[in-house]
């Protein structure tokens, strides 16, 4: 029987020493990093759902992509090893691919980075999947079985999510899994300049609720009351939320997702969100001083945005406000204003990242045109915590040090405790949370 080994490179990458020391002690970052590191790699598990019955399959999370892991993978004598990586981890994936190929394996890489940089990826793997993987996966396996992998697989048309298989959650094993992932859409109807996820894999598509319901059933077989992270870029932005919320509510899950602030303006939606089991949403406020091209209707005055977020929190759903530091016009003054805004506000939590020009984004193309990308800061610097371009109103060193100062202010002990108290207050009003749920007592 031919075998396919799946090797995802999961989790945050925090590269630079000072940021590592600071970042890993940040109350706002540490739990999030831990949660992300343990998220199942949904893309590969979904492809495995399309494996022909005579194929066997194994799943190996690459927290340490070393010789020992290569030995484990090769014990399965795979006909092909499918790797997945984000930009910050792609160089690790390339190195691991070399280890495997030196042992005689054939490797394939897909996902956002490989789609944005297929020529580069081809230099490190036997095959590259550009765009959606599902339409080409059966052919890729058939070619691997014959030992005739093509260098490039590219779907002729965007994948219709009505044909999405139930991901092979069974490959995760029976060990504890803090969160499972479910995708209800692919892409986003908006087109923020810095965002690759919204465009690279094709146009925005929503998954029919019947498919979502099947995936939730599969997860409930593993955990009767699962904690979910919706692997969406902007849930509800392109569809009527009603049916999807009904399906999520019926799953008896607690879930976390990303939405844009307009969800708080839709009459009744915040209450329905909470009633469906949503406990936390991540919302991009992005910047107080710079509006990114492509934000479309997401662009609005701050008071209106904050009123919408208040409505979401008033229903019992905690909001993590996300801010991107380093857009054009960022100065010491604007970062001071941001720190004061966060300290005087009611957001239940905050995420701060440095603006990052990921490959394939309009932002990267613009900064490249303007000659502002820093040399010698390769993909491993695309961590969201490392600066990779020249800011327009500060020097590189000034922005790097101002970002650390901002992080110290925002994630200091008293500010973190203040937001922890807000979270607990918000969650006490969530109708689906039970007193025994950790949200009632935890600070994160
Ligand atoms: S709203 Fe979010 S997901 Fe959509 S394009 Fe903007 S950043 Fe990307």
In terms of residue numbers, what domain contains 348? 179-440
Are 108 and 194 found together in one domain? no
For residues 132 and 186, give the distance between their C-alpha atoms in angstroms, rounded to a whole number.
Answer: 10
Number of domains in the chain: 2
Alpha carbons 372 and 391: distance in angstroms, whole number: 8
Of 119, 139, 154, at which residue does a domain stop?
154
For residues 238-260, average pLDDT: 94
Could you tell me if 202 and 316 lie in one domain?
yes
Asked whether residue 184 falls in the same domain as residue 280, the answer is: yes
Among 12-21, 67-76, 292-301, 379-388, the range with the most confident prediction by mean pLDDT is 67-76
What rounded mean pLDDT belongs to the chain?
91
CA of 56 from ligand 1 middle (Å) equals: 37
**Greatest Cα pair distance in the chain:** 63
**Mutate which of 188, 356, 358 for ligand 1 pocket (most atoms within 8 A of beta carbon):** 188
Q: Identify whether residues 20 and 119 lie together within a single domain.
A: yes
Phi, psi of 153 (to 5 degrees): -120, 125
In a shared domain, residues 117 and 254? no
Is-contact 260 191, C-beta < 8 A?
A: no
CB distance 188 to ligand 1 below 6 Å: yes
Q: What is the DSSP string of 425-441?
A: HHHHT-TT--TTSGGGT
Q: Is residue 290's pLDDT more than 80?
A: no
Instruction: List the CATH number of the domain containing 286.
Output: 3.80.30.20
Ligand 1 centroid distance, CA of 306 (Å): 18
**Residue 165 is assigned to a structural domain of this protein:** no
Please indicate, yes or no, whether residues 128 and 184 belong to a single structural domain of this protein: no
Cβ of 284 below 6 Å from ligand 1: yes
Indicate the top mutation candidate among 284, 287, 351 to test ligand 1's pocket, ranked by most ligand atoms within 8 A of CB: 284
Residue 12 shares a structural domain with residue 120:
yes
Is ligand 1 within 6 A of the CB of residue 298?
yes
pLDDT tops 50 at residue 83: yes
pTM score: 0.92
Comparing 25-29, 207-211, 363-367, which segment has the lowest mean pLDDT?
25-29
CB atoms within 10 A of CB 297: 10
- Specify whether 263 is located in the same domain as 408: yes
Instruction: Dump pLDDT digits (tens) for 145-162.
Output: 999 999 999 999 999 999
Inside any domain, residue 320: yes
CA of 212 relative to ligand 1 center, distance in Å? 21
Distances (CA, A) of 125 to 65, 70, 321: 15, 15, 38
Query: Which structure tokens are listed for 275?
Result: 């009633």
* Residue 259 host element (H or E): strand 254-259
pLDDT greater than 50 at residue 25: no
Q: Is residue 161 part of a domain?
A: no
Of the listed ranges 166-170, 327-331, 439-443, the one predicted with least confidence: 439-443
In a domain, 297, yes or no: yes
Mean pLDDT calculated for residue range 375-394: 94
Kindly state whether residue 429 falls inside one of the protein's structural domains.
yes
Ligand 1 in reach of 234 Cβ (< 6 A): yes
Across 287-380, where does the E strand assignment appear?
318-325, 349-354
Residues 229 and 100 in one domain: no
Q: How many CA atoms lie within 13 A of 1 on its CB side?
A: 12
**C-alpha closest to that of 335 among 370, 287, 292, 298:** 287
| HSE, side-chain direction, 13 A CA sphere, residue 133 | 26
Q: How confident is the model at residue 331 (pLDDT cuts 50, 70, 90)?
A: very high
In a domain, 148, yes or no: yes
Which amino acid residue places its CA nearest to atom 1 of ligand 1?
190
Helices 209-222 and 241-250, packing angle to 10 deg: 20
Instruction: Tell me how far the alpha carbon of residue 184 is from its chain's centroid.
Output: 14
Q: Final residue of a domain: which of 104, 120, 154?
A: 154
pLDDT band at 297 (very low <50, low <70, confident <90, very high): confident
**217, two tokens:** 């059933």
| Alpha carbon of 330 to ligand 1 centroid (Å) | 21
Distance CA 62, CA 84 (A): 10
Query: In this structure, how many other beta carbons lie within 10 angstroms of the beta carbon of residue 34?
Result: 14
**Do residues 375 and 286 share a domain?**
yes
Q: Is residue 80 part of a domain?
A: yes
Q: Are 169 and 216 a contacting pair, CB within 8 Å?
A: no
Residues 245 and 119 in one domain: no
Domain boundary among 117, 138, 154: 154
Asked if 431 and 325 sit in the same domain, the reply is: yes
CATH number reported for the structural domain that contains residue 28 in this entry = 3.40.50.280
Confidence class for position 27, pLDDT limits 50, 70, 90: very low
pLDDT single digits (tens) 413-442: 999 999 999 999 999 999 999 888 888 765
- CA 128/CA 151 separation, integer angstroms: 6
Residue 351 lies in a domain: yes
């Amino acid at each position: 029987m031919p075998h396919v080994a799946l090797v995802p490179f999961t989790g945050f990458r925090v590269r630079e020493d000072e940021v590592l020391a600071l970042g890993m002690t940040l109350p706002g970052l540490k739990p999030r990093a831990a949660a992300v590191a343990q998220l199942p790699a949904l893309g590969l598990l979904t492809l495995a759902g399309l494996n022909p019955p005579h194929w066997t399959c194994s799943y190996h999370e690459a927290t340490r992509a070393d010789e020992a892991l290569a030995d484990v993978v090769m014990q399965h004598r795979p006909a092909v090893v499918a790797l997945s990586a984000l930009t910050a981890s792609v160089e690790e994936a390339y190195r691991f691919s070399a280890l495997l190929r030196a042992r005689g394996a054939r490797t394939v890489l897909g996902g956002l980075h490989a789609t944005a940089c297929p020529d580069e990826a081809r230099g490190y793997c036997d095959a590259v999947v550009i765009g959606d993987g599902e339409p080409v996966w059966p052919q890729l396996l058939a070619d691997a079985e014959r030992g005739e992998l093509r260098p490039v697989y590219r779907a002729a048309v965007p994948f219709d999510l009505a044909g999405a298989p139930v991901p092979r959650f069974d490959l995760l094993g029976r060990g504890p899994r803090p969160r499972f992932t479910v995708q209800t859409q692919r892409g986003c109807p908006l087109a923020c300049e810095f965002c690759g996820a919204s465009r690279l894999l094709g146009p925005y598509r929503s998954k029919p609720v019947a498919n979502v319901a099947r995936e939730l059933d599969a997860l409930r077989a593993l955990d009767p009351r699962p904690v979910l992270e919706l692997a969406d870029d902007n849930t509800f932005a392109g569809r009527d939320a009603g049916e999807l919320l009904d399906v999520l509510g019926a799953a008896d899950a607690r879930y976390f997702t990303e939405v844009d602030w307009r969800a708080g303006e839709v009459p009744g939606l915040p209450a329905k969100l909470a009633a469906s089991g949503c406990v936390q949403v991540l919302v991009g406020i992005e910047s107080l001083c710079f509006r990114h091209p492509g934000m479309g209707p997401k662009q609005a005055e701050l008071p209106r945005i904050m009123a919408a977020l208040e409505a979401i929190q008033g229903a019992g759903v905690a909001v993590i406000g996300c801010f991107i530091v380093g857009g054009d016009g960022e100065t010491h003054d604007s970062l001071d204003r941001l720190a004061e805004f966060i300290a005087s506000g009611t957001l239940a939590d905050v995420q701060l990242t440095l603006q990052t020009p990921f490959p394939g984004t309009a932002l990267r193309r613009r900064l490249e045109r303007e000659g502002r990308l820093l040399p010698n800061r390769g993909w491993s610097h695309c961590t969201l915590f490392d600066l990779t371009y020249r800011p327009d109103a500060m020097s590189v060193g000034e922005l790097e040090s101002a970002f650390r100062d901002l992080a110290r202010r925002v994630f200091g002990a008293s500010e973190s405790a203040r937001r922890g108290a807000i979270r607990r207050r918000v969650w006490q009003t969530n109708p689906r949370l039970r007193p025994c749920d950790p949200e009632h007592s935890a600070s994160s």
